[in-house]
Amino acid sequence: MGDLTGEGRDDALLVVDRARGGMASARHPLEVVLMRREADGRPRRTAANARLLSCGPCATTGGWLRAQAGSFTVVDAGAGEMRAEYRFDYDRHARVWRITHVSRRIVDPHTGHERQQELSVRDAGGASFARFDPARLPVFDGEKNK
């Protein structure tokens, strides 16, 4: 929970697992749901995205959400040695959250060698939270350390 719009109300981010038995998969991915508190105090489902968190047999439960005033970050640390952070900032004019920063990191478990990639809003495309798809980001070749 936190003030995701910067308007002084407590909004919420939820992770919903629609799979039976609690095992998310490609067919039933984990969904990040944004609940915005309206002026009357009632929460309303504002947007959702089922493409941000890894799921399936190779994924772990290593993801989390961070709320800041006017923004939030989704961290996916569930796909082996790869970790990705997606930051969304609130666009008051369009009344949506847009991707503004992406950080991806891979650590080789055998050597400890780390590869990292930082993407700006321009690189990440500026898509809204509901439309953002990590699969459309530039390829992470892992050759450049930043």
For residues 104 and 83, the answer to whether their CB atoms sit within 8 Å is yes
Tell me what pLDDT residue 111 has. Answer: 86
d(CA 102, CA 73): 9
User: What is the extent of the structural domain holding 23?
Assistant: 12-130
Tell me what pLDDT residue 54 has. Answer: 74
Tell me what pLDDT residue 23 has. Answer: 57
User: Is 59 within the bounds of a domain?
Assistant: yes
Tell me what pLDDT residue 7 has. Answer: 86
Q: Which residues of the chain have pLDDT under 50?
A: 58, 143-146
Tell me what pLDDT residue 145 has. Answer: 39
User: Is 58 within the bounds of a domain?
Assistant: yes
- Average of per-residue pLDDT values in the chain: 83
SS3 state at 121: helix
Tell me what pLDDT residue 94 has. Answer: 94
Tell me what pLDDT residue 146 has. Answer: 39
User: Is 99 within the bounds of a domain?
Assistant: yes
d(CA 41, CA 11): 10
Q: 3-state DSSP helix/strand/coil percent for the chain, to nearest 5? A: 5, 45, 45
User: Is 7 within the bounds of a domain?
Assistant: no
User: Is 83 within the bounds of a domain?
Assistant: yes
What is the count of structural domains for the chain? 1
Tell me what pLDDT residue 16 has. Answer: 85
d(CA 59, CA 42): 34
User: Is 119 within the bounds of a domain?
Assistant: yes
Tell me what pLDDT residue 112 has. Answer: 82
User: Is 142 within the bounds of a domain?
Assistant: no
d(CA 11, CA 90): 12
User: Is 66 within the bounds of a domain?
Assistant: yes
